[in-house]
Chain A
Amino acid sequence: MQREGQVRIPSGCAISGIIDRSGRRMSGEAVIESIAIMHDRSNGLGGGFAAYGIYPEYKDYYAFHIFYDSVLAKKECEEFLERHFDIINLSKIPTRKMKQITDEPLIWRYFVTPLPTRLADSQLDEREFAAQCVFRVNTRIDGAYVFSSGKDMGVFKAVGFPEDVGRFYRLEEYEGWCFTAHGRYPTNTPGWWGGAHPFALLDYSVVHNGEISSYDANRRAIEMYGYKCTLKTDTEVIAYIIDYLHRKKRLTLEEIATVIAAPFWQTIEHMTSEEQKAHEYLRVMFSAQLITGPFSILVGFEGGLMALNDRLKLRSMVVGEKDEKVYIASEEAAIRIIEPNLDTVWAPGGGQPVIVCKNGGEA
């Protein structure tokens, strides 16, 4: 059977996210409870979490989470890492033995910083250097897969129901100011853990519910800019688009939302001439980054969380607020189960981004 990456697998899904604007940290317990209530939106073939603010003691170091198929792959990868980075700390990621989660690969975590000489030689900025090293591992070292590479954040994912995945990774023992969660309903057996969500590059993480119809147009465009789509999933290509537009092209998240879920021309026609010009420019300039077909996504980033629906709102997504906390989920029930007394609850329109920054965070 072909592994994910050799074959493209569409998925349905559930997503949930919590952010505390004040930056106060909470345990991973709540997000597990939230995603668990949407059990029937997953089918046990993938679940995962992204957690921000969980490594304050290592916040200046890239936290690489890596799956290994074999000890050999680990050895080869670690040699690569040592050639390019100063490894401050390394360990197995703590897990809990559970009968619901089987066939786990070797799961390791490294806190690293680029070797100054290598970084200088590369003539790249630090983040691009780190990103290119991630691509090198994922495309050239057979059996090694970096699935998380940001600072002060981490992705935890596996094949299984999301609530089981959360318990497996002992997520309740982590504390962060933002969590996102994903339950997957793939229409094919993914074969390995790398295909689960979130998908992350540097501090950007994406959980996504939907099946985008623009996939191959987006993939072929983004691959021209040096990205390698190794998983063939929508989430992977969306994450790269966001990285490309935000980190490389320096668009704001609000501008990014109007690129990937662009307003229709007929809507643009009714805008003021100033707005018209701005939207027309973004649509023409970044037409290959427009995403069509159903999606609801949660994008975690260094400074906060963005939620976005496709331009027609073909996937459910609800936002609830209580004091400093903002909850976003596929279903209202997933919010009510952890916070029954919301100040407000609403469903954002198609293409209308909800951008929540923690205090001091930038979009």
Chain B
Amino acid sequence: MAVNYIYPDYEIIRNSDRCITCRACERQCANEAHEYLPEANKVVCDDAKCVNCHRCVSLCPTRALKIAESGNTYKQNVNWNGKTINEIYRQAGSGGVLLSSMGNPEDYPVYFDKMLLNASQVTNPSIDPLREPMETRISLGAKPRDIERGETGRIQNNLPPQLTLSMPVMLSAMSYGSISYNAHESLARTAEELGIYYNTGEGGLHEDFYRYGKNTIVQVASGRFGVHPEYLNSGAAIEIKMGQGAKPGIGGHLPGTKIVGDISRTRMIPEGSDAISPAPHHDIYSIEDLRQLVYSLKEATDYQKPVIVKIAAVHNVTAIASGIARSGADIIAIDGFRGGTGAAPTRIRDHVGIPIELALAGVDQRLRDEGIRDDVSIIVGGSIRSSADIVKAVALGADCVYIASAALIALGCHLCRSCHAGKCNWGIATQVPELVKRLNPDIGYKHLVNLMTAWQHEIKEMMGGMGINSIESLKGNRLMLRGVGLGREELEILGIKHAGR
């Protein structure tokens, strides 16, 4: 074998006693890992083609298939582990940058898992959400410094435009192109049904989805694909994407092979041309430039839409957020280093940025120290995995969270991290028509609504346990958090005490 041969990480295990040679696995696998041999009347598999997406496992009618780690190993070495060696072989062979998808899978601390929530005992009552109202409704947007009264003394509504959500969750930006039409439809319908918002990503808005406008955030990214006045005015808010947690500091690239049909029209670029989003916005090299874009967008939409500025959580995030809060933005979205993506250079994804928990804690405190926390709302993402993560993020100071990976998992994603290959067997991260139709939006959106409804119940239970009956009273309520196994400096940054204190 060649010097750079890489043994497959995963092995498809077929129980031949159970296999009825129905060939469902062969039909389901876009990677062609399964092959039927007519002479022998059996199905064989090529582990090397398997991405471990579990499509065949899930659809095998006799449970004849499972995927296991192949167990092939080089000589054990903590420093030069198998993954590192394989990556060198791959790059030595290709001369290219390694690509990956979804969020950073490496073993960095997950601070959400090192914080625990409080509950009431004796001195104040917990509240049962099944018996008493338990409010999860929030408003996002800037709050003016002072109230104004009319001639009769009645308070005038001087609030800038707000986003109102039934629960503190929004579906994060994923472009039409990076995910399929059916995936987009599922997100849009979920947002509408729940009274929350989804985000177009930077691929423009398909004309079929303008009807979900009041639950849509339209994104303006560095490529400005699909941006025109009607687009800007069609959504409930506009998001300027400065950065993304999975790939801070770099742009994006949707290959020309995916720029077909509707996607080409929606992005307003010719079919087959690569859609390259530059690393910076070339009209924003500085904070004062950002202010100009914020106000350009506000002018274009007659000051009727809140403007969100989304940044990746990087080392200097607190100062950057402070600058954004003074730039006219209504909402800051911060994306942590575990945030997902359809494609990112592996080294960037795995080594750039900081954990969202620390970024959030730092930004919230910094904006309070400067007295400008009311000027902006804060949304955090990357990676919110459960209702407990949401409750902890809100207690640290977030107004709302963005979820994307969790939403895709609800639609069927099995986190095989192969989105960049474009052959998603679950019909999510693909534009191949026969794969796209595997995701039925009627079913997909119901799953996602179920997930959000379940999380909302859990949020209410946790709030009720703490004796809090409005999510607004949880926001920034850091006394409800305690750290476990954290050092003094980490506790100080998070602004929480250690458990036992």
Asked whether B475 is an interface residue with its Cβ less than 8 Å from the other chain, the reply is yes
A348 within 8 A of B: no
Q: Assuming the A-B contacts A220-B368, A294-B125, are A213 and B468 also in contact, with contact meaning beta carbons closer than 8 angstroms in the complex? A: yes
A322 contacts the other chain (Cβ, under 8 Å)? no
Is the Cβ of A216 less than 8 Å from the Cβ of B477? yes
Check B144 against A292 for contact (C-beta < 8 Å).
no
Given A265-B135, A277-B157, A293-B467 in contact, is the A12-B476 Cβ separation under 8 Å? no
Beyond A220-B368, A224-B368, whether A214 also contacts B124 by CB under 8 A is: no
Taking a contact as CB atoms under 8 Å apart, the answer to whether A216 and B368 are in contact is no
Chain B residues positioned under 8 Å from A255 (CB to CB): 155
> A10 to B132, Cβ gap below 8 A?
no
- Chain B residue with minimal CB distance to A221? B476
| Chain B, range 406-432, C-beta contacts under 8 Å to A | none
* Contacting pair A213 B472 (CB below 8 A): no
A214 pairs with B468, CB closer than 8 A: yes
Q: Does B133 contact A (CB under 8 A)?
A: yes
Chain A residues with CB under 8 Å of B477's CB are 213-217, 220
Bound-state Cα–Cα, A239 to B470, Å: 21
Q: Which chain A residue has the least Cβ–Cβ distance from B475?
A: A217
Main secondary structure of the interface of B (DSSP, over half): loop
Are B473 and A290 in contact (CB-based, < 8 A)? yes
Let me know if A292 and B475 touch, CB within 8 A.
no
| CB-defined contacts of A265 to chain B, threshold 8 Å | 133, 135, 137
Question: Which residues 82-113 in B have Cβ within 8 Å of A in the complex?
Answer: none
Contact in complex: B478, A293 (CB < 8 Å):
no
B124 touching A10 by the CB < 8 A rule? yes
User: Is A173 interfacial (CB-CB < 8 Å)?
Assistant: no
Point out the residues of chain A lying under 8 angstroms from B143, CB to CB: 284-285
Look across to chain A and name the residue whose beta carbon is closest to the beta carbon of B465.
A213
Interface flags, B337-349, vs A, CB<8A=1, else 0: 0000000000000
Residues of B within 8 A of A290 (CB): 470, 472-473
User: Taking CB as reference atom, which chain B residue is nearest A223?
Assistant: B368
B120 sits at the interface (CB 8 A): yes
Within the complex, the shortest CB–CB distance from A278 to chain B, in Å, comes to 6
Known: A211-B123, A293-B124, A294-B124. A281 touches B157 (CB 8 A): yes
- The bracket for how many chain B residues form the interface is 35 or more
Q: How far is the CA of A215 from the CA of B472 in the complex (A)?
A: 12
With CB as the reference atom, state the residue of chain B lying closest to A250.
B147
Tell me if B368 and A214 are in contact (CB < 8 A).
no
Q: Is the CB of B146 within 8 A of A249?
A: yes
Query: Which listed residue, B127, B137, B374, touches A312 by the CB 8 Å rule?
Result: B127
- Which residues does chain B contribute within 8 Å of A288, judged by CB atoms? 374, 472, 475-476
Could you tell me if A281 and B159 are in contact, using CB atoms closer than 8 angstroms? yes
Residue total for A at the interface (Cβ-Cβ under 8 A): 44
Contact between B478 and A220 (Cβ–Cβ < 8 Å)? yes
A291 adjacent to chain B (CB < 8 Å): yes
Q: Is A187 an interface residue (CB 8 A)?
A: yes
| B147 x A213 contact (CB < 8 A) | no
**Is A287 interfacial (CB 8 A cutoff)?**
yes
**CB distance B157 to A187 under 8 Å?**
no
Question: With a CB–CB cut-off of 8 A, which chain B residues contact A184?
Answer: none
Residues of B with C-beta under 8 A to A278: 154-155
Whether A314 pairs with B124 at a CB distance below 8 angstroms is yes
**Which A residues are in CB contact (< 8 Å) with B466?**
213
Q: Chain A 274-312 against B: per-residue CB contact (8 Å), 1 yes, 0 no?
A: 000110011111011011111000000000000000011
Q: Do A187 and B123 form a contact, CB below 8 Å, given A217-B473, A223-B368?
A: yes
**With an 8 A cutoff between CB atoms, is B229 at the interface?**
no
User: Within the assembled complex, what's the spacing in Å between the Cα atoms of A282 and B159?
Assistant: 10
Q: How far is the CB of B331 from chain A (nearest CB, A)?
A: 14
Q: Cβ of A8 < 8 Å from any Cβ of B? A: yes
B135 / chain A contacts, CB cutoff of 8 Å? 264-265
CA of A287 to CA of B399 in the docked complex: distance in angstroms? 11
Other A-B pairs, 19, CB within 8 Å; known A211-B467, A217-B472: A8-B479, A10-B124, A11-B123, A211-B124, A213-B124, A213-B468, A214-B468, A214-B474, A217-B473, A217-B476, A217-B477, A220-B477, A224-B371, A251-B147, A284-B143, A284-B162, A285-B159, A288-B374, A288-B475
Closest 6 CB pairs of A and B: A214-B473, A216-B479, A213-B467, A217-B477, A287-B472, A211-B124
15 contacts between A and B (CB under 8 A): A213-B120, A213-B468, A217-B473, A217-B474, A217-B475, A220-B478, A224-B371, A281-B155, A283-B472, A284-B139, A284-B143, A285-B144, A287-B139, A290-B472, A294-B467
